Amino acid sequence: MNQDLSLIHRLGDSVEILATGKGDTRSRLKIVAPTLLPIEKSALPKKFHKNWAWIWKTLSKYEPEWKYDNRINASLRRIKNSTGQKIAKIIFNIWKSVINIT
């Protein structure tokens, strides 16, 4: 039960920031990535496992460009905003599924 509540809160907080935060989608994803990182795909509905894997593959695609950088930041600087929007839409759909909104 606590794991389910944690999942709902992490996804819900992320959806709120993705929907209402300032900046483009990539800058909002930079804010929510640390909140989403602890979520394992096994905690999600099975139909989203491939999507979750794709999100993290995309968000860690590029090597850091300098010493104090990380893969997520490097990837977010290089992906298109439209890719960021796809990621945000998947996160929204996962959240809807987890809280049973149709």
Q: Has residue 46 got a pLDDT over 70?
A: yes
Output b/e per residue, 25-45; b: 16+ Cβ within 10 A: bbebbbebbeebeebeeeebe
Mean pLDDT along residues 52-80: 95
Mean pLDDT along residues 36-49: 94
* Of 80, 47, 43, 44, nearest in space to 61 by CA: 80
Query: Helix-strand-coil percent breakdown of the chain, rounded to 5?
Result: 75, 0, 25
Indicate the pTM of the whole model: 0.91
Task: Provide the 8-state DSSP code for 47.
Answer: G
Decide: 41 and 52 in contact? Cβ < 8 Å.
Answer: yes
